Amino acid sequence: MSIQPKERLLSLDAFRGLTIASMILVNNPGSWQYLFKPLGHADWHGWTPTDWIFPFFLFIMGTAMAYSFGKKLEKGMAPEDLVGKVIRRTIIIFAIGLFLNFNSSLLRVIFNNENNGFWGTLGATFSQIRIMGVLPRIALCYFAASLIVLFCKRTTQYLWIVILFGVYTFILVFIPMPGESAYELARGRNIVYFIDYLILGDHMWQTDIEPEGILSTLPAIVSVLLGYFSGEWIRSGYSRVAKLTGLMVAGFFIMMQGYLWHDYMPINKPLWTVTYTLFTGGLALQFLGACYFLIDIQGIKKWATPFLAYGSNAIVVFAGSSYVAATVAIARITVGDETTPIKTFIHENLFVRWFEPLNESFLYHASFLYSVFYMLLWGIIAYILYRKKIFIKV
């Protein structure tokens, strides 16, 4: 990990920052019981704005790859020279994800009175630690997409999209989970879940679902490739108007392909279906296009300053916010004769108490305000790093 200032594509940083801020917002409600519907994931098939956030981040990572790899290759570096750096970054991102999962597992063991001494605590922690998650998936997608764009020509890169989509869809449609019929997509009854359970066992997010699982990583790689192609397009020699038009038209076309096929292959985030990849990839193109229009074409930048701060240290802000959020949600403090999670204490005393005398519907507002408070707290941290021109590169 190094700290260095460098010239950046501001519209990409703004889009990345908007995505990170949104991710912190939706991941940290005051209470999961009182959650406005757009701030939660779809129950299964379908989507909410929250379901756009993760594929947007993978898309943005692909766009950034076009710049980072492109500049190095233009300086004469061979693709083979970049593999070591790709492997190193993959390991670091995956390790950070595992550390966050380990922290959550350890805290649950300690505060659920499962402490049986050092080795007993460590064993119980590893027995239930989640292996996959947001950062491990980012790492795997980054590694696979990097190899594809470094060692394959453009036509072969397109072919890889067909292969990834085709193999995944074939497995999902034609290979059933034992005891189930083919093309069964219900939660806990599909081949994606079955493979995750065989490989991960008790190390899944929940017993019947792993939203960042093994098999569903295949189409998620395409989310990165779509971002890479958009970055290559922006780096091309075409005019800014032509670039904007290409982003918006391609985005609309790709989004509609996912939407129109929804009745046949449902848009589904936990399964990361092909339609979900296309729908969110098309939306990401249009969001990037909007940022590109406002910042790079119109020069309207002031609105984006907070998001530039989030986006300039995206992994650090996301990992840090996740670590603190998990800690305060699980760690408990004694209040009177009872113990309560730190997060619950803060939420109930700083937010709920102002709404409780009214009616239950206002508890949704209290929960939302906690999310906003936590997002802004990390926005301040990100802004301090941004103003000091500290960009922590993972």
* Contacts of 22 by beta carbon, 8 Å cutoff, 6+ apart: 49, 53
Buried b / exposed e along 176-198 (16+ C-beta atoms within 10 A)? bbeeeeeeebeeeebbbbbbbbe
- Residue 345 to residue 298: CA distance in whole angstroms: 46
The maximal CA–CA distance of the chain, rounded, in angstroms, is 68
> Two tokens at 238?
């075409």
Amino acid code (one letter) for 94: F
Q: Where along the chain do its domains lie?
A: 1-40+306-394, 58-299
pLDDT at position 354 is 75
350 vs 199, 334, 353, 355, 356, CA distance in Å?
Answer: 43, 17, 7, 10, 11
| Strand extents, DSSP E, the chain | 2-3, 332-335, 338-341, 392-393
Kindly tell me if the per-residue pLDDT of 287 is higher than 90. Answer: yes
The confidence band for 3, taking pLDDT boundaries of 50, 70 and 90, is very low
Kindly tell me if the per-residue pLDDT of 2 is higher than 50. Answer: no
- Residue 391 to residue 314: CA distance in whole angstroms: 9
171 vs 46, 149, 191, 273, CA distance in Å?
Answer: 21, 25, 8, 11
Kindly tell me if the per-residue pLDDT of 357 is higher than 70. Answer: no
pLDDT tens digits for range 262-280? 999 999 999 999 999 999 9
Q: Report the candidate in 205, 230, 66 with the shortest Cα–Cα distance to residue 137.
A: 205
With contact defined as beta carbons under 8 Å apart, do 262 and 275 qualify? yes
- Residue 63 to residue 304: CA distance in whole angstroms: 18
Give pTM, 2 decimals. 0.93
Q: Report the candidate in 86, 232, 221, 247 with the shortest Cα–Cα distance to residue 161.
A: 221
